[in-house]
Structure 1
Amino acid sequence: MAHLRRGLTGRLVAASCVLAVLLGSVFAVLLLAVSDQRDAAALSRRSQQVLTTANRMQALVLDVETGERGYLLTGDPRFLQPWSAARAQIPPVGVRLTDLIINPARERMAHQIIHSTRSYVRDYSVPLVALATRDPKAARSLSHTLEGKRRVDVIRAQIDRLSASARAATVARQERAAAAARRAEVASVVGMAGSVLLVALLAAYLTRSIVRPVRRAATMAGELAAGDLSARLPETGAGEIRTLEHSFNTMGESLERNRDELAKLVEEQTALRRLSTLVARAVPPATTFATVTEEIGELFEADGTAMVRYEADGTATAVALWGQRDSSLPEVGSRAELGERTVPAQVRRTGRHARLDSYAGSRDKDRGPRELGVRSAVAAPIEVQGRLWGALTAFSTKERPLPRDAEARFADFTEVVALAIANAQARSELAASRARVVAATDRARRRIERDLHDGAQQRLVSLLLDLRGIEADIPDDQVRADVAEVATGLTDAVEELREMARGIHPAILSEAGLGPALKALARRSAVPVELGLGVKTRLPQPIEVAAYYVVAEALTNAAKHAQASHVEVTTSERDGRVCVDVEDDGVGGASFGDGSGLVGLTDRVEALGGVLKVTSPTGRGTRIHAELPVGSGQATS
């Protein structure tokens, strides 16, 4: 047997080593060929980039030459615009050209090109344009023309030399890569033939010595997979095969023992996944509580489950119940005494899991479980942010008690409950905080608008009236004209201040409502606006303010960023919600990035219990849709 094991293992190792060496050699040659191909491809890409950048440099030089010649011939300053743009782009293109070149010789060529180009622009083009500005006739002289042509021809020749050198390097590298590829093809053919022969010999040996015994083991594995965990394999093989047969038999026994435990674990994880999905969807806590009690009852085959919340006066409130129902069982929402020996009372005293397998000898305060026929009960604490919130309990009326580890396995479910409670509290606190911030912001806006209107604006109007009076009394026409100019500037300042005050918190919004305010906003918009006002009545002030700023921000974005030519604004009211839609035909691409006004709008809308959606595909315009519940606005105000 030892000889067989040694021969089987030794032959497999020897064959594997030979095959590994053969395949390793083939792959080494292939890797070298791939490396050469990759290097050739990289060099080709770099050379292409060098050629592209050199051509770009040549095009910029031609733009400079064209611009200056156009200016010399016509004197039209518009020819200097492409001339200036080309001058500005030459330095970064030169830097990119030198960054792309790694060959010292071609790097010197690139520096020559950059030097010649800079010299052409600095020593010829710029002075020539300046001369043309002062003396156009002198700038059109033959000597200047020939000098410009000579310089441009030098630059073109330098670029041609650099391009030829880059192309030659690419061709040479591709030829080396092709030779390596041919070597790799020969090595692949030889390696494939040798590998096929060696694998065929090894396969014949494995079939005779290993495959046939393993096939019998596979038959047993199929029986195990089909659910027949009583199947066993005769341990008649030799060496490693016999060990395999023994291992299969051991595996069958282990599977048979653990089948029930695995099924229970799967059911438990499935239940937890369903509960986690409910929490992630932010369903009401009551729904999560009811689902948890139901999942616990079915999972542990309990007769009833309950979730209670501890109150400050020592009682407990039932927040969810499942299972056995009769007149003795409390209703959801009712309060009851905890008793002394009940598992919820033990959890409240200790803050830990509790279990009771018999209520025999319980006092009158514990008559509730006895009346229900409870024989065993377990409970686990529910802690929210480090504070004992309540308990999750399950009970059985059967002779067989609940599983011994039931209370410990409750831990995952109580964590889900605690997470649902914490999330609900956090959402409530976040909504309240947003509402306070929005209200404070609106108060600050109204105060600033009022201060500007009653303070600085009135003061400027008074000064303007005084200045107009002084203007009328001045006999000197020149002085009166100067004073009139100052008065006109002061009038413009008053108008700008009035527009600024309207933008902070327009008075028409408070006095006339959302419809007139949107009409005024549309009249001042730089982009044509088509209004469709479906809301005719006054809304709560926070709702009107939020809707106004949604439209204002959307119109600002359409004018400044979207390049829109038309905007449609629509308001409507249905099912107790006000809907505001703003759609433009601009470039799209709006997002909630840093500094975007959409972030503040989202906070304002969601603080009122509403929803803000932005649809802005690139090139197809932007649509902002806001829904605001009228009831929340009333409550907030």
Structure 2
Amino acid sequence: MRGGLTRRMIIASGLLTLLTTAAFAVLLLAIRDQRSSAQLARHSQEVLAASNRVERLLVDIETGTRGYLLTGEDQFLQPAHAGEAGFAVASSELVDLTTIPEQNEAPARLTAIHVSGTARAIKIKGEAYIRDYFRPLVAAAERGDPAARSVERAQLGKVKFDDIRSDCNTLEQTEQQVAAERDDRARENANQATIAAIAGLGGTGVLVGFFATYLSRVIVRPVRQASAMAHRLASGDLSTRMPTTGVAEIGVLEKSFNTMASAQQRSQSELANLLEEQAALRRVATLVAEGTPPENIFRAVNEEVGRLLDVDGTRLMRYEADGTATSVASWGEPTIVPAGTRIALDGRNIAALVRSSGRPARIEYEDAPGSIATIARKSGVRSAVGAPITVEGRLWGAMVAFSKADKPLPSGIELRLADFTDLVGTAIANTQARADLTASRARMVAATDDIRRRIERDLHDGTQQWLVSLALDVRNTLASVPDTQSQLRTELANIADGMVAALDDLREISRGIHPALLAKGGLDLALKALVRRSPLPVELDITLDGRLPDSVEVAAYYVVAEALTNAAKHARPTAIRVAVDVVDGRLRLTVHDDGIGGADPANGSGLTGLTDRVEALGGTITVHSPPGEGTTLQVWLRTAAS
């Protein structure tokens, strides 16, 4: 059966209605037949009763006539005259009761004609009997005619009366036979109607049961199953699917449910991929924000991209000015080009496609020409995608992802790859800006140190020598003044002493601007001289192998000088310890005192300038100074150019 459930339900309801209607129609017909049979039975009883009344009236006439003829007494004529008076009415009633109905069928109509004819014959014969026999015979007997009482006349009356009674018996028998046949037919029809009604009701019950079973199997069970599946789906089991065995609308419901479940599972998978991608981007962005060195960011990006995109390997390429590309970092397999290798972009490869177009690209290496494509095929690489890395509007390089799978990489993977290349570009731009800033600050520090050195040299070679010459001239002049001019000698002596004091102060200032010993003897000797001049006891622990860059030595010297000055002015310590060594290519400088603590570089102390100097050289400076526990200052400086 084809069609929707609505059509099937309409057809089933129509069949059910048809069977129920047929069963009730049969019952109604049976009831009508029973009612008609009852009416016909009453009619037959009335016909038989009318026939019996006519026959009794004729019997009364015949009996009264015979009694009168035998006895001559008039009392016997009274029943005869009463029968005569009632015969016309009774016979007419009998004739009326046996009138032929128009609706009877042919066999019944023939029987009715026979009964009606017999009734009419009884009426006619009875009237003839009364008119032609009873009345003349009674009149003759009343006149005294002996022939009235003769045997012949009695025999004639008997023959006439027997003929009429025979017709009455025939009518009664025929009517009884008709009634019996009618009863049999009514019983048969009732039995057939009962059987038909039982069959109809039974068929209705079977159809109702079948329809209920069908609805339960086709609608109720799938709907209940859909409810259970929907509960599992709402509980998070997105792999739930309904068997598509239903028909019509239920089948559509099952397919729609599976489509919805598939869409939700796909949405959840896309959401999980998006969250995973956002988490990977967040981790890379955190590295960028923290100022992580580019090489570490490159390695992290390669790994994040490889795991997120589920590829066999990733590469980060930097384009060079001579038309080649350098592999900056790599992850996974295949190891086509190791990190640090410079390659020529000949033939057709993903790096060349991205460079020529400046947009994301993809390639199948099956028939691609060029050395890189050949290496890729030998390594088992089937396809690759790439996205450009742009730094400050300039194409810097490309991010490439490889796959060994036979099927192509998924569509849209280039856009996901581009999200990471944007972060790489930002990291490179930040690193470049930070490097430019550091270089600028380093140049400023170097220029400042150079100026300090030049001022110190000018003071030492110019002003100091001039003051020494002046002091010697004053001393020579003082020696030539006679003793009699004591006041002049005293004034010249004061001038000479003042010039010597000024020379000492100038030497101290010159030493603070840029100690000459630092340039000549290095950090070791300069710190030892600084410690000797300190008013507080200082323990110096210095471990150095050779000289360090000038900028590093100057920065370290001024850090120690400022730390000792601050400790003497503010910390009130009893002892200070200075330690200097080199660890993993970096100078470690530690100054610790046991003073009152509480130092804070943010309050504008001399450590602010030292912090700028240290950070300008790419170093770090930390101050730990809890109240009452002393102060520890630690500086890290790179000993080689980055």
TM-score computed with the length of structure 2 as normaliser: 0.54
- Residues 1:555 and 2:579 are matched in the alignment: no
Give the residue type in structure 2 aligned to 1:551.
V
Aligned with 1:528 (options 529, 536, 543): 536
Question: What is the distance in 1 between the residues matched to 2:501 and 2:593?
Answer: 32
- Residues 1:346 and 2:353 are matched in the alignment: yes
The 1:354/1:538 distance shift into structure 2, 3 A limit, reads: closer
The 1:307/1:487 distance shift into structure 2, 3 A limit, reads: closer
1:422 counterpart residue number:
429
Question: What is the distance in 1 between the residues matched to 2:347 and 2:580?
Answer: 61
Q: What is the Cα deviation at residue 254 of structure 1?
A: 5.8
Confirm or deny: 8 A CA contact 1:529 1:569 kept in the other structure.
no
Question: What is the distance in 2 between the residues matched to 1:399 and 1:321?
Answer: 22
Q: What is the Cα deviation at residue 263 of structure 1?
A: 1.4
- Residues 1:500 and 2:516 are matched in the alignment: no
Give the residue type in structure 2 aligned to 1:448.
I
Cα distance per residue 1:227-252 (max 9 Å; x no partner) = 357599xxxxxxxxxxxxxxx99997
Give the residue type in structure 2 aligned to 1:227.
D
- Residues 1:568 and 2:583 are matched in the alignment: no
Cα distance per residue 1:491-510 (max 9 Å; x no partner) = 32222111111111223333
Give the residue type in structure 2 aligned to 1:439.
A
Aligned residues: 398
**5+ long unaligned stretches in structure 1:** 1-216, 233-247
Q: What is the Cα deviation at residue 620 of structure 1?
A: 3.1
Aligned with 1:315 (options 297, 320, 324): 324
Q: What is the Cα deviation at residue 401 of structure 1?
A: 2.7
Confirm or deny: 8 A CA contact 2:238 2:264 kept in the other structure.
no
Partner of 2:589, secondary structure, is strand
1:539 counterpart residue number:
547
Confirm or deny: 8 A CA contact 1:453 1:498 kept in the other structure.
yes
Give the residue type in structure 2 aligned to 1:589.
G
Partner of 1:488, secondary structure, is helix
Question: What is the distance in 1 between the residues matched to 2:558 and 2:435?
Answer: 24
2:197 counterpart residue number:
none
The 1:447/1:413 distance shift into structure 2, 3 A limit, reads: same
Question: What is the distance in 2 between the residues matched to 1:250 and 1:383?
Answer: 42
Partner of 1:561, secondary structure, is helix
The 1:264/1:439 distance shift into structure 2, 3 A limit, reads: same
Give the residue type in structure 1 aligned to 2:540.
G
Question: What is the distance in 2 between the residues matched to 1:252 and 1:566?
Answer: 76
1:481 counterpart residue number:
490
Give the residue type in structure 1 aligned to 2:499.
L
Confirm or deny: 8 A CA contact 2:312 2:334 kept in the other structure.
no
Map 1:244-393 → 2, pairs under 5 A: 255-325=264-334, 329-339=336-346, 341-356=348-363, 358=364, 362-363=368-369, 367=374, 376-393=383-400
Q: What is the Cα deviation at residue 379 of structure 1?
A: 1.6
1:224 counterpart residue number:
234
Partner of 1:521, secondary structure, is helix
The 1:303/1:623 distance shift into structure 2, 3 A limit, reads: closer
- Residues 1:432 and 2:442 are matched in the alignment: no
2:188 counterpart residue number:
none
When Rg is computed on C-alpha atoms for both structures, the one with the higher figure is 2
Q: What is the Cα deviation at residue 458 of structure 1?
A: 1.8
Cα distance per residue 1:171-219 (max 9 Å; x no partner) = xxxxxxxxxxxxxxxxxxxxxxxxxxxxxxxxxxxxxxxxxxxxxx999
Give the residue type in structure 2 aligned to 1:382.
I
Partner of 2:602, secondary structure, is coil
Question: What is the distance in 2 between the residues matched to 1:564 and 1:272?
Answer: 50
Cα distance per residue 1:508-559 (max 9 Å; x no partner) = 333444444334323433x412223333765336243332211111112123
Aligned with 1:462 (options 464, 469, 472): 469
Question: What is the distance in 2 between the residues matched to 1:428 and 1:602?
Answer: 17
1:242 counterpart residue number:
none
**5+ long unaligned stretches in structure 2:** 1-226, 243-256
Aligned with 2:457 (options 439, 447, 450): 450
Confirm or deny: 8 A CA contact 2:360 2:418 kept in the other structure.
no
Partner of 2:538, secondary structure, is strand
Cα distance per residue 1:561-604 (max 9 Å; x no partner) = 33445433333455555433222233433333375432332344
Give the residue type in structure 1 aligned to 2:326.
T
Map 1:390-401 → 2, pairs under 5 A: 390-401=397-408
Cα distance per residue 1:589-633 (max 9 Å; x no partner) = 33333754323323443455543221122343321122445x42x
Cα distance per residue 1:334-381 (max 9 Å; x no partner) = 34443555333232122112234x567645675555556655432211
Question: What is the distance in 2 between the residues matched to 1:496 and 1:561?
Answer: 24
Confirm or deny: 8 A CA contact 2:383 2:402 kept in the other structure.
yes
Confirm or deny: 8 A CA contact 1:300 1:402 kept in the other structure.
no
Confirm or deny: 8 A CA contact 1:306 1:394 kept in the other structure.
yes
1:145 counterpart residue number:
none
Q: What is the Cα deviation at residue 406 of structure 1?
A: 1.0
Partner of 2:611, secondary structure, is helix
1:626 counterpart residue number:
635
The 1:609/1:483 distance shift into structure 2, 3 A limit, reads: same
The 1:373/1:460 distance shift into structure 2, 3 A limit, reads: closer
Q: What is the Cα deviation at residue 413 of structure 1?
A: 0.8
Instruction: Tell me how large the CA RMSD over aligned residues is.
Output: 3.7
Confirm or deny: 8 A CA contact 1:300 1:403 kept in the other structure.
no
The 1:462/1:420 distance shift into structure 2, 3 A limit, reads: same
Question: What is the distance in 2 between the residues matched to 1:535 and 1:359?
Answer: 58
The 1:577/1:355 distance shift into structure 2, 3 A limit, reads: closer
Confirm or deny: 8 A CA contact 1:355 1:379 kept in the other structure.
yes
Partner of 1:620, secondary structure, is coil
Question: What is the distance in 2 between the residues matched to 1:515 and 1:267?
Answer: 54
